[in-house]
Amino acid sequence: MCNNLKVSYRGLIVWDVDGTLIPADLRWLRRAIARTYQLPESAVVFPPQRVHGYTDESIVIDTAVASGVRLQQAEAEVSRFGDVLLEVMDEGREELAREQAAYPGVRDTIEALDREGFIQTVLTGNLAQAATVKLDAAGLNQYIDLSIGGFGSDARDRFELTNVISRRFAERHGEQLDPGRVVVIGDAPNDVACARQAGFHAIVVTHRASREELAQSEPDVILSALEPDVVVAAASRLID
């Protein structure tokens, strides 16, 4: 976690995690859901259109129900999921580092943004502890301040997480967060929608969706890759 407190800051970069910093991979959710609800892994069914861009807890409930678990049971046992997920990820730590290594350019981009005076955090559907494990495994946590991030463990509705970030930023830095100085960087339409409802700028990268698909959500910038100079220039242009 970045411990460099800045009284004056260039802007705030809010990163999505899965699909933006590292490849998305459902194996951890699949294993943890199976273990939480005592299902065979082969019986875990992820409902279409209810995974990418949603919080882990909402995914778990929807997936458990789609996999044959009664809604009441799914809700009653979801409190166990976080501990089970961490157990599963700890067992597969080497696999995690190998299979979900950072996308090309990510580490250099994060370092370049830090040099330019940007504070950086995350907005992710991951539970906070799971996000920490993923970023640690990918070696990406040095310049990212997770203490002001918004996580799936903070709210089941992803659209509530921008308020979490604003509140934590103000508590940590002693000033209100200016929405015009915030840039969300993600890879999906939900990232753009989440940014827009908070008055934040939005940059998306075509790691999973095509330029044409992403253009429909009307982000400020669409990138084909995360290149340090390009990202710094785009973010600077949006907040200046």
Split into its structural domains, the chain has a count of: 2
**172-210: pLDDT as tens digits:** 999 999 999 999 999 999 999 999 999 999 999 999 999
Query: 118 lies in which domain range?
Result: 11-24+101-239
Tell me, yes or no, whether 2 lies in a domain: no
Q: What is the pLDDT of residue 50?
A: 63
Q: Is 166 helix (H, G, I), strand (E, B) or coil?
A: helix
Tell me, yes or no, whether 190 lies in a domain: yes
What count of other Cβ atoms lies within 10 Å of the Cβ of residue 197? 11
Give the C-alpha separation, 173 to 166, whole Å: 11
Q: What is the pLDDT of residue 54?
A: 82
Confirm if 199 and 184 have CB atoms less than 8 A apart. no
Where residue 26 falls among pLDDT bands split at 50, 70, 90?
very high
pLDDT tops 60 at residue 3: no
Tell me, yes or no, whether 3 lies in a domain: no
**Cβ contacts of residue 115 below 8 Å, gap of 6+?**
none
Domain end residue (candidates: 83, 98, 113): 98
Tell me, yes or no, whether 92 lies in a domain: yes
pLDDT tops 90 at residue 107: yes
Name the residue with tokens 């906070």. 128
For the question of whether the overall pTM of this predicted structure is more than 0.85, the answer is yes
Is there a single domain that holds both residue 92 and residue 115?
no
CATH number at residue 217: 3.40.50.1000
Domain end residue (candidates: 82, 98, 114): 98
pLDDT tops 50 at residue 4: no
Name the residue with tokens 């959710």. 29
**118-158: pLDDT as tens digits:** 999 999 999 999 999 999 999 999 999 999 999 999 999 99
Q: What is the pLDDT of residue 1?
A: 46
Q: What is the DSSP letter of 101?
A: P
Is there a single domain that holds both residue 37 and residue 148?
no
Give the C-alpha separation, 79 to 174, whole Å: 33
Is there a single domain that holds both residue 74 and residue 142?
no
- Mean per-residue pLDDT over the chain, rounded: 94
Longest dimension (CA), the chain: 52
Tell me, yes or no, whether 44 lies in a domain: yes
Domain end residue (candidates: 71, 98, 125): 98
Tell me, yes or no, whether 5 lies in a domain: no
Tell me, yes or no, whether 82 lies in a domain: yes
